[in-house]
Structure 1
Amino acid sequence: MIVFNIVFTLFIPVLMILCGYLMYKHTPKDINGLVGYRTAMSMKNQETWDFANNYCGRLWVKVGVVMTIISALVCVPYFFMSSGKATVIMCIAEVIQVVVLCWTIVPTERSLKDNFDQDGNRKDK
């Protein structure tokens, strides 16, 4: 049961690192509804699409690394507590990780807004 808790505690942060790397290194060539950072603003045109996937991908890697370290530290007490308590801690960690994952939308959209107008044209600096 400890292995299960450790795997699931580390799952989201590690997935963020992997997906983030793919988002900024291998951004989908075409705007699509299946893969990539997909919001109304990011899908305005190819330039906003590339920008958003690059920005969010890099953010996911950074946040994923920090969350992996914190999550690994959270796993240490699993060895010294009952499996029931460890499972509760794992669930709390998962909820926090999902909140952090969703939070990354905010800075990405803010950066899109700072760099592009509402029609997706790059703003003059």
Structure 2
Amino acid sequence: MGFWIFMLIMDLLLPFTMIGFGRYFIKKAPKEINSVFGYRTSMSMKNKDTWEFAHKYCGKVWYVCGMVMLPITVIFMLLVIGKNEDCVGSIGASCIIKSVDVEI
């Protein structure tokens, strides 16, 4: 049961991170255009207007994707509760890999 809890926590990190950064970017973009933090593309960094629009749009996408991934991850992990560690590890790893695929 301890391994299942560990895998559940690890699997939920990505959806919660996407929800958190999505809400943050919807409310406010980083103040200055920079190459360290934020949604950095050549188009988003052209001027302040495109920088703010890109963050608002990206924030909405990340928020929605995180909200969709959250219940899906929980459902898949509930399906393997009480199973052996190999099964839990395989399903947990699949959830993480699919979450990263959705993000990219």
Q: TM-score, normalised by structure 2?
A: 0.93
Runs of 4+ in 1 over 2 A off after TM superposition: none
Structure 1 residue 79: Cα displacement: 1.3
Q: Does the alignment pair 1:66 with 2:71?
A: no
User: 2:83 aligned to 78, 81, 84, which one?
Assistant: 81
**How many residues end up aligned between the 2 structures?**
102
User: 1:16 aligned to 11, 15, 18, which one?
Assistant: 18
SS at match of 1:79: coil
SS at match of 2:81: helix
Work out the CA distance in 2 between the residues paired with 1:65 and 1:59.
10
The alignment's C-alpha RMSD in Å is 0.9
Amino acid at match of 2:89: T
Work out the CA distance in 2 between the residues paired with 1:90 and 1:21.
26
Work out the CA distance in 1 between the residues paired with 2:86 and 2:79.
13
Amino acid at match of 2:13: F
Structure 1 residue 51: Cα displacement: 0.4
1:65-85 Cα deviation digits (max 9, x unpaired): 011011111110231311121
Unpaired runs of 5+ residues, structure 1, are: 103-125
Unpaired runs of 5+ residues, structure 2, are: none
Q: TM-score, normalised by structure 1?
A: 0.78
